[in-house]
Amino acid sequence: MLGFIPEVVDIQICVFLVIFCQTLPDLLGGCKTNTKNFLIIAIRGLREYFSWERKDMHEQPKKTILHPIHEKLQAKIIDFHGWMMPVQYSGIIKEHEAVRTQCGVFDVSHMGEFELKGRDAQKALQKLLPNDVSHLSDFQCLYSPLLREDATIVDDLLVYRYNPEHYMIVVNASNIEKDFEHMSQRLGGEVSLTDKSTRLSLIAVQGPTSPQIVSKVLNAELEDLKTYCFRIGEINSDSLVVSRTGYTGEDGFEIYLPNHCAAVVFEQLIAAGAIPCGLGARDTLRFEARLPLYGNELTDETNPLETGLGRFVKMDGHDFIGKDALTKISAEGVTRKLVGLEFSDRAISRTGAAVQTKASEPIGFVTSGSFCPSLNKSCALALVKAEGIEIGTKLLVETRGKFRDAVVVRTPFYKRS
């Protein structure tokens, strides 16, 4: 009976199937379900389950170099995409408010860093990215999506230009291997791409008082550093990079430095007044500012035009991977769009929750939902059909099995003055 199932080699699956096949007639209760198709579906699910089980048994979550400090500070630590990361220290709302009003410090060393070098480095990036790298000056940064040929989103990333032949590319932690493979397969010319993720730590310092705190700790005047620019500095004779970038909607800096220097700098920032913050506050902060999260707003099935990243796609000028597909999408008209939703109560609609019109017509789903501490209200981002949905449109959103009222509002939900 099992002969038609290809590549069944896992002993756990085989044992299960023997027992399963013996009891299948009783389970189906005499119905006319196609037994062969039923088993094929079952085998696929089982193989995926057991492959993940083996992966989980053999691959322990990674820890950043700052993990002992998080434990010392009694942070609540969770497994985040294979990394043991602090989700909160004193509480998400307290940490959120600290960044909005003072200064917070985050360990984001799980992020990935690639180094691109060579005579054709700029040309290679121009081909890889829809944003225009050629407009960058030395020591400037640029945000861009990374696309496939069909214009779906591989990741979103930052590019740091040292000079036309030397760049750093910063990618999301969950996409390091995928991004490196994608780029390596599509690079052309005289270039080399190196994954430096395991050698570097990344500390984000965010909030109104971050310029003073970072300048003090790094013994450098940074208040005049412009947004999306960076400098090279020193710490104990080791070089570091500090950029005026962040993921919170506030002024702030991100510090890239060798692993062995990270603990000293992290503790000095706290001693200088920065409040340690976890990934929970980082998520509510980025959400209020409508900064997209890969895996939520950005996925393997979305394109930059429907997710609000059109301003980072330069259709005029350079050729890039995904341009032909985006040209077609633009000509035919975008069928979906990312919108902001606001609720009258504090309940939270979670990722994947259904969105309907007031006439109960399904039109999309929630990509992110959260209580917004800065606004004292609950909001959501949703990917919905584009036609007929405007600011002020009233919709229905699923929450805990029931639908409640929502209204489409302008984003970002929060914008610093």
Domain boundaries, the chain: 2-58, 61-289, 290-409
The verdict on domain 290-409 having CATH code 3.40.800.10 is no
Residue 279 amino acid letter: L
How confident is residue 47, by pLDDT bands cut at 50, 70 and 90? Answer: very low
Query: pTM higher than 0.75, yes or no?
Result: yes
Length of the chain in residues, anyone? 417
Query: Regarding predicted confidence, which is higher, 51 or 235?
Result: 235
pLDDT at 305 over 80: yes
Across the beta sheet with 230-235, the strand order is 230-235, 238-243, 252-258, 200-206, 104-107, 275-277
The pLDDT score that the predictor gives to residue 58 is: 60
Query: Regarding predicted confidence, which is higher, 393 or 50?
Result: 393
pLDDT at 317 over 90: no
pLDDT at 228 over 80: yes
The pLDDT score that the predictor gives to residue 237 is: 87
The pLDDT score that the predictor gives to residue 59 is: 76
> What span, in angstroms and rounded, lies between the C-alpha atoms of 373 and 287?
11
> What span, in angstroms and rounded, lies between the C-alpha atoms of 315 and 348?
37
Beta-carbon contacts of 225 under 8 Å, excluding residues fewer than 6 positions away, are 231, 242, 243, 244, 253
The pLDDT score that the predictor gives to residue 349 is: 96
Q: Across all residues in the chain, what is the average pLDDT?
A: 89
Q: What is the pLDDT of residues 72-123, one digit of tens each?
A: 999 999 999 899 999 999 999 999 999 999 999 999 999 999 999 999 999 9
Judge whether 287 and 367 are in contact, CB under 8 Å. Answer: no
Judge whether 265 and 114 are in contact, CB under 8 Å. Answer: no
> What span, in angstroms and rounded, lies between the C-alpha atoms of 396 and 412?
21
> What span, in angstroms and rounded, lies between the C-alpha atoms of 122 and 161?
9
The pLDDT score that the predictor gives to residue 41 is: 42
**What's the average model confidence in pLDDT over 9-31?**
39
pLDDT-above-90 percentage for the chain: 84
DSSP-assigned letter for residue 229:
B
How confident is residue 35, by pLDDT bands cut at 50, 70 and 90? Answer: very low
Q: What is the pLDDT of residues 236-245, one digit of tens each?
A: 889 999 999 9
Q: What are the φ/ψ torsions at residue 170 (nearest 5 degrees)?
A: -110, 125
- CATH for 61-289, among 3.30.1360.120, 3.40.50.300, 3.40.50.2300, 3.10.580.10? 3.30.1360.120
Of 297, 256, 286, which is closest to residue 372 (Cα–Cα)?
286
